[in-house]
Amino acid sequence: MTLDISIRTDDILTSDSHLIQSFANLHGLKQQDARTAIVSANGAYVTDSEGNKLIDGIGGLWCVNAGHGRKEIIDAITEQLNTLDYYSTFYNFTHPTAAALAKKIAELAPGHLNSVHFGNSGSVANDSAIRILHHYYNRLGKPNKKLVLSRQGAYHGSTYLAMAMTTPAYSDGWDVANNLVHHLRCPHHWREGDGMTEAEFLKALLADAKARIEELGAENIACFIAEPIQGAGGLIVPPEGYHAEMGALCRNYDIKYITDEVVTAFGRLGHYFASKDVFGVQPDIITTAKGLTSGYQPLSATIISDEIHEVVSGDGAMFLHGMTYSGHPAASAAALANIALMERDQIPQRARVTGKRFENNLRGLADLDLVGEVRGSHFMMGIEFVKDKEKKTPFEPEDQIGLKISRAAQDRGLIARPLGNILILSPTLIMTEEQIDRTSDILRDSITEVQGAP
């Protein structure tokens, strides 16, 4: 059967005028050619409605860690739906797949993080973490200990509370529940630490955090929430030792540490969880989603410590929290099959090697005039473009530099995500060396083209 590709694209885009895209310029999308319809996917590639095969340089949305079209995951979902399509984990109910997944996650999570509450998105996982902690402090007779410390440059999701914890730049013109959250300094040495060594910058960040804690009163602060590497807020790697030091600071002040591993878990940085193995911090709560199912089903997890669990499951407590799809059988089956695949193919371990090649290749683009900084780690990278390399002068939003370079890359067969002056790369973790090298070649050619005609 031959596909009439042009009619198909028109059909899709006509229907699509009823769809509201997320984080999009909806006015701009009204132009007929502004949207890309992805119609199929396999391995490290996706195919658009015009028949173009593109390297999926953003892994769907930082999530298709195991690669597209993995039969093992698809079959596990189908088998689960044939056996038990749906039952809830409300009240006294459970089912074997959610139970087995909770046990598996508890085995993989560091330290005494042994209890798992499921949700269906990273935003919900983060909201859940805060709700659970607030209840925990109520149970301990500390009803005032409710404030949340987050950071400039953070991205924690777009439910009302998750957006309040996200960097304010993301809610321009939108309201947030801003009475609970305080943002600490962004830990970006290249932009924020001018004139300081990385070690001096770290000291400054810690001093700032300490001052904010003293000012707000530790007795009013529930937690600090942090992505190990800030992703959608600009791909920011904190100074060496930052999380371990912040962990110690929080412990001193009896402030709980939440690591948002929605992106960094399940192999993206070469480990199942990055908090302890990569950044040396033992959190009280880890939230995760995305790579947990490699995107095959919507699922998130809020993983809490034994100490918190003991309080919220104590005599007289009621856990008044949950979503209809918490621990959905098909999503739980997808996650179990995804983790089994990762274990069988050693995907995180392999990513330590191939991810380093990806990182090093991208770092090699730093010689280009437009490139101010290449940053990130393994399969989580960002390239920031500047007008003047020496002075680090940013482009204006109307220059649309990220967008122009991403379009040039897409024309050459690569999807990369523009974020203002930054290009984000977060591909599948199963890329071959050839695909990795092709990605950096396309990026070099695309940046060079735009550099020639900015």
Residues that bind ligand PLP (CB under 6 A): 121-123, 126, 155-157, 227, 231-232, 260, 262-263, 289
Q: How far apart are CA 375 and CA 382, in angstroms?
A: 5
Who's near 12: CB < 8 A, 6+ residues apart? Answer: 37, 39, 49
Return the closest-CA partner of residue 136 out of 309, 20, 262, 261: 309
Query: Which residue number, 269 or 371, has a Cβ lying nearer to ligand PLP?
Result: 269
Reading across the β-sheet that carries 113-119, which strands appear in turn? Answer: 113-119, 300-305, 285-288, 256-260, 221-226, 147-151, 181-184
Query: Which residue number, 229 or 351, has a Cβ lying nearer to ligand PLP?
Result: 229
Query: Which residue number, 303 or 370, has a Cβ lying nearer to ligand PLP?
Result: 303
Query: Which residue number, 156 or 189, has a Cβ lying nearer to ligand PLP?
Result: 156
Query: Which residue number, 213 or 232, has a Cβ lying nearer to ligand PLP?
Result: 232
Neighbours of 170 (CB within 10 A): 17
Q: 3-state class of 231 per DSSP?
A: coil
- The CB-of-59 to ligand PLP minimum distance in angstroms stands at 11
- Residue whose C-beta lies closest to ligand PLP: 122
Per DSSP, 169 falls in state G
- The CB-of-238 to ligand PLP minimum distance in angstroms stands at 14
Return the closest-CA partner of residue 110 out of 363, 282, 300, 229: 282
- The CB-of-376 to ligand PLP minimum distance in angstroms stands at 13
Q: Per the structure block, which two tokens stand in for 37?
A: 């319809």
Return the closest-CA partner of residue 432 out of 340, 337, 353, 343: 353
Query: Which residue number, 126 or 302, has a Cβ lying nearer to ligand PLP?
Result: 126
CB 125 within 8 A of CB 158: no
Instruction: Report strand pairing: 285-288 vs 414-415.
Output: unpaired
- The CB-of-444 to ligand PLP minimum distance in angstroms stands at 27
Query: Which residue number, 163 or 368, has a Cβ lying nearer to ligand PLP?
Result: 163
- The CB-of-233 to ligand PLP minimum distance in angstroms stands at 9
- The CB-of-250 to ligand PLP minimum distance in angstroms stands at 19
- The CB-of-168 to ligand PLP minimum distance in angstroms stands at 16
